[in-house]
Amino acid sequence: MPQPPQSDDDLANKVDAASRAVDFMDHDAGKGRVDRAINKVAEVAGVTVLATIVVLVFGNAATRYIMNSALVWSDELVLSLLPWLGMLGMFLSIRRRQIIRIEFLSAKLPDGPRRILYCVTELLAAGAFMWLAVAAFQYIQLFGGDRTIYLQIQKGWFQAALLIGPALAALAYLLLMIEELRSSRGKTPTR
């Protein structure tokens, strides 16, 4: 006998439960001590940057509407911290294999060719991110000495995220490729 269609509430509750399970799981389970430490440092740095941005945004809004005086420098600092937040998030998502990827083709392949495909795509991703890091280095050489308008901080401190983030992403992809190659020598797949 066919099942009656689920109500929207049932589906919403199932999606909510699945989301919560993913949000609160240990994303570094099974990783070594060094991997966990690297991810923890990136997490703490990301949370610190995010908390700083939130405090600055709300502090600026409060002073603007309560005291009729804005912290003009806070917008500048918030915009300067956003690249760091994005790069830290990207680095963590690559390390934890949570970066967006479409597995339509790879899911249909046998184990050997699938691992080869993963290695090739990880190598291509590492190359693309290294190219971005080189371009960012050239950009910082040209404009890194410029100063922010209000705080007079060299922009290179903030633009460094555009160099460090892709370089770390490339390294993370190379390490994933090495894991994949090691797993193809008889160990279980890394995915």
CB 106 within 8 A of CB 118: yes
Instruction: Please write the tens of the pLDDT for every residue from 62-83.
Output: 999 999 888 889 999 999 999 9
Question: How far is the C-alpha of 103 from the C-alpha of 55, rounded, in Å?
Answer: 39
How many DSSP H helices and E strands does the chain contain? 6, 0
Count of Cβ atoms closer than 10 Å to residue 169 Cβ: 24
The answer to whether residue 1 is domain-embedded is: no
Any idea what the Cα angle at residue 27 is, between residues 21 and 28, rounded to 5°?
150
Share of the chain above pLDDT 70, in %: 91
The answer to whether residue 188 is domain-embedded is: no
CB 130 within 8 A of CB 136: no
**What range defines the domain where residue 109 resides?**
8-183
Instruction: Please write the tens of the pLDDT for every residue from 22-55.
Output: 667 777 777 889 989 999 999 999 999 999 999 9
The answer to whether residue 86 is domain-embedded is: yes
The answer to whether residue 189 is domain-embedded is: no
The answer to whether residue 2 is domain-embedded is: no
- More confident site: 100 or 109: 109
pLDDT band, residue 4 (cuts 50/70/90):
low
How many domains does the chain contain in total?
A: 1
The answer to whether residue 71 is domain-embedded is: yes
The contacts of residue 45 (CB under 8 Å, 6+ apart) are 84, 88
The answer to whether residue 186 scores a pLDDT higher than 60 is no
The answer to whether residue 43 is domain-embedded is: yes
Question: How far is the C-alpha of 172 from the C-alpha of 183, rounded, in Å?
Answer: 16
R_g (Cα) of the chain, nearest Å: 22
